[in-house]
Amino acid sequence: MRIAMRTGSEPTTARSSLRVRFWLSVWGVVWTVAGTVAFALAGHPGWALACGMLFLVVAADLAFVVRHIRQGPHYQPGRDVPPYEPPHGPPTDRR
């Protein structure tokens, strides 16, 4: 098991991509619903089914993104917290 360590070289202006994923998922929901309806009305049940299945994938992604956004920010050490010391000694393989 490998443990991620804080090195002090992390970007200080890093942003989460959750809001971008949220809006892309909303865009995907709109287009998959429109595609499902359009293909169903045009008499193409195979394409309507494909769009409906893609809608399920996009809706699941949207649910995960909303869940992560509602969890809020997680603790991140500030600039005043020094980097962690690297482990001393040989690496251990814990399996």
Residues 35-64: tens digit of each pLDDT? 999 999 999 999 999 999 999 999 999 999
Buried b (16+ CB within 10 A) or exposed e, 54-79: bbeebeebbeebeeeeeeeeeeeeee
- Report the alpha-carbon distance of residue 81 to residue 8 in Å, rounded: 9
Task: Supply the pLDDT for residue 70.
Answer: 87
pLDDT of 58 reads 97
pLDDT average, residue stretch 72-90: 68
The pLDDT value recorded for residue 71 is: 82
Q: Could you report how far apart the first and last alpha carbons of the chain are, in Å?
A: 7
pTM of the model: 0.63
How does the average pLDDT of the chain come out, rounded?
A: 82
